[in-house]
Amino acid sequence: MRVMGIEAIYAKPRTSLPGEKVRRYPYWLKGMKIDEPNQVWSTDITYLRLPQGFVYLVAILDWYSRYVLAWRVSNTMDVSFCLEALESALDVGKPQIFNSAEGVEPQGGDDS
C-alpha cells in the first residue's frame, strides 16, 4: 500500500492537534551526539484501532540503544498507564534528558 501511495479509509482520532495558545519550545536535541546509554530517553503515545474502539500504547525508549525500556497499553487516555511505564523504566536506569513529543493529548479521566 505504501508503494502505491494508498491507505485505508477510516475515522482517525484527532489526538495530536495542538490546543489554543500552545507554547512552543525550541528543539534542543537536534544534532546532539547521543553516545552513551541513559543519556536521552523519549516517550510517545499512539493509538491502535480495534473493532471495539481504540487502545493506547505508551513506550519509553533509550535513544542510544534504541531499546524499549518500558511500555503499557490502556483502553483509556488516563495518565496512570503512562506513569506505570515511567516507573518501570526508572527501575532500569535514570536518564540525563527525558524527551517527549510536542503533541497535545486530549484531557480526560483522572489527569484533567
pLDDT per residue over 42-66, tens digit each?
999 998 888 888 999 999 999 999 9
Residue 55: inside a domain, yes or no?
Answer: yes
Is residue 52 in a domain?
Answer: yes
Cβ distance 75 to 107 under 8 Å?
A: no
Specify the pLDDT at position 8.
Answer: 75
Q: How far apart are CA 47 and CA 74, in angstroms?
A: 9
At 46, list the grid cell.
Answer: 499512539
Domain range for 61 is: 40-105
Whether 23 is covered by a domain: the verdict is: no
User: For residue 110, what pLDDT is reported?
Assistant: 41
Count of domains in the chain? 1
**Parallel, antiparallel or unpaired: strands 53-62 and 40-50:** antiparallel
Is residue 93 one of the residues assigned to a domain? yes
Structural domain contains residue 29: no
Determine, yes or no, domain membership for 79: yes
Name residue, grid cell 532500569. 92
Q: Which residues of the chain have pLDDT under 50?
A: 105-112
User: In one letter, which amino acid is 88?
Assistant: S
> What is d(CA 22, CA 4) in angstroms, rounded to the nearest whole number?
36
